[in-house]
Structure 1
Amino acid sequence: MILSELTVAVVQAVPVDGDLEANLRGTESLVEQLVTSAAGADLIVFPELSLTGYDLSLLADERNWFTPGDERLNAVRKIAAEHGTTVVVGAPVRVGEHQHIASMVLTGDAPDVVAAKTHLHGAENDLVEPGTGPVVISVAGWNVGLAVCYDTAFPAHAQQAKERGAQAYVASVLFTQGEERRLDVRMAARAVDHGMFSVTANLGGYPLGQRSAGGSGACAPDGTVLAVAAGRDQEVVTVRLDPALL
């Protein structure tokens, strides 16, 4: 199959910790704007735990957990289906008896896909279960490997995505002030080491009460920065991935 350019909208979101209604409204509004803009978007990517905010104490509240097919996401699915767009959101997700920090893939045309965080750290280990490796999805003919934050620290995770056919490695993350260089170098390395695009959606604002590192954007397979957020608050970075660079 001959690939066309893949238009990716990277959302550096600023969720309100624990305010699901506000976060869902904000997600729906942004998705609607992005699919109807002049650029359009084949893939829209939100950061880690974008629907709840990264506050692990919120996991004690049953209302903050999502499941595949969760009706609260129907509006996003409807928009995605109408415009042929794939939307990746971050949430605490239950799959049967298993609890994960995950990216949920919404298209409205197929069942939701859950890409669970494989590499946990800190308190996450006591609250959720790890995933079993990268999930690779198909978007407009492209194979897209999904990662959640700490997964990006492990070259083997990206390598597994590559072995499963990924041409882009898309990470939903949380990096705060002081970690800017770590974020930049890590995502450039994942691109160069495995010959694929890397895309990063970071939480903006003040996650965990600390200033965001910003840095949402994308790198080419040679590590060149294709696009990056100008600031550290809510922002959308739109980038076109050119298959000629693979």
Structure 2
Amino acid sequence: MRNPLAVAVVQPVWAGPDVLANAERHAQAIEESEARLLVFPELSLTGYDLEAQPLAVDDSRLRPITEACRSTGAVALVGAPVRDPDGREYIATPAVTGEDTTPAYRKMHLHGPESDRFTPGAEPVVLTVDGWRLGLASATTPPFPSTPRTRQRSASTPMSPAPSTAPGPPLRPPRLPHA
């Protein structure tokens, strides 16, 4: 029998289009949580701004998140536009650990103006954390018929970053303990 996996769904107060300030708020949430896995909203580092500059996985502004994950042993699923080496851009869910950042999931089912800029992800992704196989998806993925079959074949537990519903600050304050 595997151990339970402590998961936190977090929506920090948005710091505007300042990626470093948003990364610092993500880091604070990671440090205040006792969760092993933290899931942040789609495009949480830039806000739902479809014109935001893409982030590279080695962007120095992500360092506060990496350091928080290193000090706590957490894995953080954050949201950002990313550009692959071939130039294609995605709405992505980078996975940040204490060692590195990788684009764990690329949103597959784009809608409205998202498809004017971004490329849809090619396939569902399974992320393994402490023996738990987690099927990653965006909030708009579940209605598509292929998703449950893919998760069944991969024997994964579904995980979905919360959508960002509008540009600008989040609609709800974070639910974190206060220092």
Q: TM-score, normalised by structure 1?
A: 0.64
Q: State the 1:158 CA deviation.
A: 3.6
Mapped to 2, the partners of 1:68 and 1:211 lie a distance apart of 24
- Equivalent residue number for residue 33 of structure 1: 32
Residues 134, 157 of structure 1: 8 Å contact kept = yes
2:113 is aligned with 1:173: no
Residue 43 of structure 2 aligns with which residue?
49
Q: State the Cα distance separating 1:143 from its structure 2 match.
A: 0.5
Q: Map 1:177-196; keep pairs closer than 5 Å.
A: none
Distance 1:144 1:74 in 2: 25
Question: How far, CA to CA, are the matches of 2:13 and 2:141 in structure 1?
Answer: 21
Choose from 92, 97, 102 the match for 2:81: 92
Identity of aligned residues (%): 35
Cα distance in structure 2, aligned partners of 1:157 and 1:81: 32
Deviation at 1:27, TM superposition (A): 1.0
SS at match of 1:173: coil
Instruction: Call closer, same or farther: CA 1:26–1:110 in 2, change over 3 Å.
Output: closer
* Residue 174 of structure 2: aligned partner: 234
Task: Indicate the residue corresponding to 2:18 in structure 1.
Answer: 19
> Counterparts of 1:135 and 1:46 in 2: how far apart (Å)?
17
CA distance in 1 between counterparts of 2:20 and 2:99 reads 24
Kept in 2: contact 1:118–1:131 (CA 8 A): yes
Q: Distance in 2 between matches of 1:140 and 1:162?
A: 19
Correspondence for 2:110: 120
Which structure dedicates a bigger proportion of its chain to strand?
1
Tell me if structure 2 keeps the 8 A contact 1:42–1:140: no
Equivalent residues of 2:42, 2:80 under 8 A apart? yes
Task: Show structure 2 runs of 5+ residues with no match.
Answer: none
Q: Superposition RMSD on alpha carbons, in Å? A: 2.4
Quick one: structure 1 residues 109 and 161, their matched pair in 2 at CA, closer, same or farther if it must change by over 3 Å?
farther
Runs of 4+ deviating beyond 3 Å = 208-212
* Gapped regions of structure 1 (runs ≥ 5): 35-39, 175-202, 213-231, 238-246
Provide closer, same or farther for how the CA distance between residues 209 and 42 of structure 1 changes in structure 2, counting only shifts above 3 A: closer
SS of 2:140's partner is: helix
Offset of 1:164 from its aligned partner?
A: 1.8
Of residues 120, 143, 161, the one that matches 2:133 is 143
- CA distance 1:143–1:124, shift in 2 (3 Å): same
Higher helix share: 1
Deviates more, 1:21-30 or 1:97-106: 21-30
How far apart in 2 are the matches of 1:235 and 1:208? 21
